[in-house]
């Protein structure tokens, strides 16, 4: 199952924007325009682009602090994201969230979470709403392979299975949980195998291939929408950068990054579109340029936006009214 | 006027809210077909069906996280944690998620979520099934906390909590489930954040809640025979805190005793004393006293449990101390 032309174009544009935005975000950190920490998803773009291509309006998503790609693929504006990165009043979360908490309720993004695994049970709740209200919508929750070692993962898969909730558990196995290669912390080969313990389908897919991701997510989504319950999908992928901004990833095996670069998710889709006569190098370069322009525009815009008024510190602790 | 137990008041409040709003759902461990381990919720599953009244696995993180996710997407869930001692099992979901979800999104969500839990000692449940949770929860802005002490307040505050567009913990004291009281048919959902003067007096103010409130009232009744007029305030709501009612009483009595069913360190009584020091210090005619569990833990053996929880004797002594000062 391949994507239609317009969906391929959309995915390619998304992935280029994600890639360029992430690279710029790293620069902004080094220039001290962004504080704290950040977790880049460079190399994992196809997971976000492929998965979100299978979603429909009303579907809900929770994700992780390495979640800029999910947010942009779902439709968060570059300006909203860059504004939030810089803690500006007009950022996606009015400056209250930052890099690790990208949230946009208007596009179904219920929030990126800075606690490993915490977003899984929250997605169950969105799925419960869809089930009780019979909306035909689903919830999707993204997490890394290391999150499959935390209790919330197991509680969430178990309860979702018992209740047959319309929720997809999408694992981005990028091989590293923070600074540790996952084989050191996890006694099984494939995270997808954990699905068996909860009597739900567990599917593995090449996480660098946008359309392969789309295909398995679409199949699982159709299943969930028709009351057949949750699925666990393991996307085999790779993060090109370290865990967070100060990590240069010295723990990687020599040559490992180069091997993965040979299977770059943007290149895979690009080459496929060229082979199918849907794209040429000139058009690709135009797309890349347009993405770069959009990213730069968002950054320049965000730089000039105001910080939140200090009174806003006390706003939205509670809903008033 | 109908009389019912505190336990029945919980069930009636849940039933009335489930009946009045189709978005209300209720789930927790053994709350459905079994009717709850404290037999607080019998009949709800049969009446409202398994879609809206659900039994969960023993998975406290999943229970709270699911309730949060449901609350921000259009339902009005009531989640039960069974024993309040299980709050720490789900503490990430409570402290990092429920409390912060609205705030860290810049106000994108309302979180109409109620979490019920049974708390309190005095029944021989031992050290991991007897604690009170208010002091733990008060350190997480974003959550409201109420602890009803009577059947009518149980009914009204639980309904008020379910209608509230913020996360609310409703803490039920296990030692009060059999307490009977009048709950008028027209009892409306109550506002959170209001303390109540349940016994008027002019000599000393006692602030307490739940089991400790009833013990304070017992002490006050005995002291009245000696002409000592104790004003007893049922705090009812820990967050928000009704400063006005406390300060007005302090302005009248000039003396303060706080009775907590909690350890002394970082216990909620410290906040009441801090309020008195910050905003009521010129009214104070004597040092304030906190009666609580000190630095001890709840033990199983009956005489030890009786000793650790403030009793009428200790409350009476504290009142006499501040009056003598």
pLDDT tens-digit readout, B85-111: 999 999 999 999 999 999 999 999 999
Q: Is A212 left (phi over 0), alpha (psi -120 to 50) or beta?
A: alpha
DSSP A113: E
Tokens of B315: 């409350």
| CA distance linking residue A103 with residue B108, whole number of Å | 8
Q: Are strands B196-199 and B230-234 parallel, antiparallel or unpaired?
A: antiparallel
Asked if B307 contacts B294 with a C-beta cutoff of 8 angstroms, the reply is: no
DSSP structural state of residue B94: I
E strand or H helix at A26: helix A5-30
A48: nearest Cα among A256, A301, A239: A239
Residue A92 exposure: Cα atoms within 13 Å on the Cβ side: 30
Question: Does A129 contact B73 at a Cβ distance shorter than 8 Å?
Answer: yes
Mean pLDDT of B104-127: 97
Cβ atoms of residues A59 and A139 within 8 Å? yes
Assigned token pair, A251: 């723990």
At A321 the pLDDT is: 76
The predicted-structure confidence for A237-248, as pLDDT tens digits, reads as follows 999 998 887 888
CA angle A163, A166, A170 (to 5 degrees): 110
Question: How close are the terminal C-alpha atoms of chain A, in Å?
Answer: 49
Residues of B belonging to the active site? 129
d(CA A103, CA A67): 10
Spatial separation of the C-alpha atoms in residues A41 and A81, rounded to whole Å? 14
Q: According to the model, what pLDDT value does residue A288 have?
A: 98
Q: Quick one: tokens of A139?
A: 């919830």
DSSP B26: E
**What band does B296 get if pLDDT is binned at 50, 70 and 90?**
very high
Site of tokens 């149980």: B154
Q: Inspect the interface and report whether the beta carbons of A159 and B59 lie closer than 8 Å.
A: yes
What is the pLDDT, as a whole number, of residue B325? 87
Determine the average pLDDT of the residues in B147-166.
Answer: 98
Contact A251, A181 (CB under 8 A): yes
Report pLDDT digits (tens) over A30-47: 899 998 888 999 999 999
Tens of pLDDT, residue by residue over A90-108, are 999 999 999 999 999 999 9
Mean pLDDT to the nearest integer, B277-290 = 98
Query: Rounded to a whole number, what is the largest CA-CA distance in chain B?
Result: 60
The pair phi, psi for residue A206, each rounded to 5°, is -70, 110
Check A126 against B108: CB less than 8 A apart: no
Set of chain A residues whose Cβ sits within 8 Å of the Cβ of B57? 155, 158-159, 162
ipTM over 0.95: yes
The DSSP call for residue B79 is E
State how far the Cα of B123 lies from the Cα of B116, in Å rounded to an integer: 19
Residue A187 backbone dihedrals phi, psi, to 5 degrees: -85, 10
- Across B40-167, the runs of DSSP E, i.e. the strands, are 53-55, 76-83, 114-119, 144-146
Q: Give the per-residue pLDDT at B276.
A: 98
pLDDT at A245: 78
User: At which residue do the structure tokens 């939205």 appear?
Assistant: A316
pLDDT single digits (tens) B168-211: 999 999 999 999 999 999 999 999 999 999 999 999 999 999 99
Backbone angle region of A215, left / alpha / beta, with phi > 0 → left and psi within -120 to 50 → alpha: alpha
Q: Which residue of B has its CA nearest to A158?
A: B57
- Round the average pLDDT of chain B to a whole number and report it: 97
B258 within 8 A of B288, measured Cβ to Cβ: yes
> Which residue reads 């805190």 in tokens?
B241
**From start to end of A39-194, where are the E strands?**
60-64, 109-113, 139-144, 167-173, 176-177, 180-181
Distance from CA of A253 to the nearest CA of B (A): 35
Would you state the pLDDT for residue A178? 87
Sheet holding A109-113, edge to edge: A109-113, A60-64, A139-144, A167-173, A231-236, A202-206
A120, pLDDT greater than 90: yes
Q: Give the three-state DSSP class for A85.
A: helix
The one-character DSSP state at A88 is -
Burial class (CB in 10 A: 0-12, 13-18, 19+), A115: middle
Angstrom CA distances, B195 to A246, B155, B238, B248, B249, stand at: 51, 16, 9, 12, 11
Q: Do B72 and A91 touch (CB under 8 A)?
A: no
Cis ω on the peptide bond leading into residue B240 (within 30° of 0)? Answer: yes
Average pLDDT over residues B7-16: 97
CB-CB neighbors (< 8 A) of B54 in chain A: 163
Overall average pLDDT of the A86-90 stretch: 98
Q: Which residues of B touch A118 (CB under 8 A)?
A: 65, 92-93, 96-97
**Which has the closest alpha carbon to A223: A181, A272, A176, A164?**
A164
| CB atoms closer than 10 angstroms to residue A103 | 27
Comparing alpha-carbon positions, the chain B residue that sits nearest to A118 is B93
Contact residues of B toward A, CB < 8 A: 25, 51-52, 54, 56-57, 59, 61-62, 64-75, 77, 92-93, 96-97, 101-111, 141-142, 144, 165-166
pLDDT, mean of residues A127-152:
97
């Amino acid at each position: 199952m391949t994507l239609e032309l317009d969906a391929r174009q959309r995915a390619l544009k998304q992935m280029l924007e994600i890639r360029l935005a992430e690279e710029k975000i790293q620069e902004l950190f080094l220039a001290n325009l962004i504080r704290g920490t950040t977790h880049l998803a460079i190399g994992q773009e196809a997971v976000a682009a492929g998965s979100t291509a299978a979603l429909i309006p009303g579907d809900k998503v929770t994700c992780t602090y390495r979640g800029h790609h999910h947010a942009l693929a779902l439709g968060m504006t570059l300006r909203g994201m860059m504004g939030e990165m810089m803690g500006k009043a007009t950022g996606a979360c009015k400056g209250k969230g930052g890099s690790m908490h990208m949230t946009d309720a208007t596009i179904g993004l219920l929030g990126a979470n800075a606690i490993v695994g915490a977003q899984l049970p929250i997605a169950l709740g969105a799925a419960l709403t869809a089930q009780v209200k019979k909306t035909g919508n689903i919830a999707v929750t993204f997490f890394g392979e290391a999150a499959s070692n935390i209790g919330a993962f197991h509680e969430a898969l178990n309860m979702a299975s018992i209740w047959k909730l319309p929720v997809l558990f999408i694992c981005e196995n990028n091989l590293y949980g923070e600074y540790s290669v996952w084989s050191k912390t996890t006694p099984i080969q494939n995270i997808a195998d954990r699905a068996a313990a909860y009597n739900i389908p567990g599917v593995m897919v090449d996480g660098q291939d946008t359309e392969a991701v789309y295909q398995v997510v679409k199949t699982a989504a159709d299943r969930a929408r028709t009351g057949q319950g949750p699925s666990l999908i393991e996307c085999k992928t790779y993060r090109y950068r370290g865990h967070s901004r100060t990590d240069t990833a010295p723990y990687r095996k020599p040559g490992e990054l180069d091997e993965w670069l040979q299977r770059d998710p943007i290149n895979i889709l690009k080459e496929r579109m060229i082979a199918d006569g849907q794209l040429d190098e000139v058009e690709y370069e135009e797309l890349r340029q347009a993405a770069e322009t959009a990213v730069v525009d968002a950054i320049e815009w965000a730089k000039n936006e105001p910080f939140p008024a200090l009174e806003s510190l006390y706003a939205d602790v509670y809903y008033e009214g | 006027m109908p009389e019912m137990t505190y336990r029945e008041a919980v069930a009636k409040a849940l039933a009335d809210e489930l009946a009045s709003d189709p978005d209300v759902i209720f789930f927790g461990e053994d709350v459905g077909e079994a009717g709850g381990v404290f037999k607080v919720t019998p009949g709800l599953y049969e009446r409202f069906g398994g879609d809206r009244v659900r039994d969960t696995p023993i998975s406290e993180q999943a229970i709270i996280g699911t309730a949060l996710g449901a609350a921000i997407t259009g339902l009005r869930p009531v989640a039960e944690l069974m024993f309040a001692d299980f709050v720490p099992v789900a503490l990430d979901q409570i402290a990092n998620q429920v409390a912060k979800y609205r705030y860290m999104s810049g106000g994108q969500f309302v979180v109409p979520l109620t979490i019920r839990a049974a708390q309190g000692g005095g029944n021989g449940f031992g050290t991991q099934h007897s604690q009170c949770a208010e002091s733990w929860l008060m350190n997480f802005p974003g959550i409201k906390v109420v602890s009803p002490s009577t059947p009518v307040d149980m009914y009204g505050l639980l309904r008020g909590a379910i209608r509230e567009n913020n996360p609310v913990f409703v803490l039920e004291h296990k030692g009060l489930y059999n307490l009977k009281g009048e709950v008028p048919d027209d009892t409306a959902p109550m506002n959170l954040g209001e303390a109540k003067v349940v016994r008027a007096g002019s000599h000393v103010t006692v602030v307490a809640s739940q089991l400790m409130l009833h013990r304070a009232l017992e002490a006050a009744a005995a002291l009245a025979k000696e002409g000592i007029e104790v004003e007893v305030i049922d705090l009812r709501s820990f967050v928000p805190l009704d400063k006005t009612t406390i300060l007005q009483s302090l302005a009248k009595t000039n003396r303060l005793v706080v009775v907590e069913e909690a350890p002394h360190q970082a216990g909620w009584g410290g906040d009441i004393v801090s309020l008195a020091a910050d905003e009521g210090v010129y009214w104070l005619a004597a040092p304030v006293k906190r009666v609580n569990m000190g630095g001890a833990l709840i033990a199983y053996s009956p005489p030890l449990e009786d000793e650790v929880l403030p009793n009428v004797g200790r409350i009476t002594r504290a009142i006499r101390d501040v009056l003598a000062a």
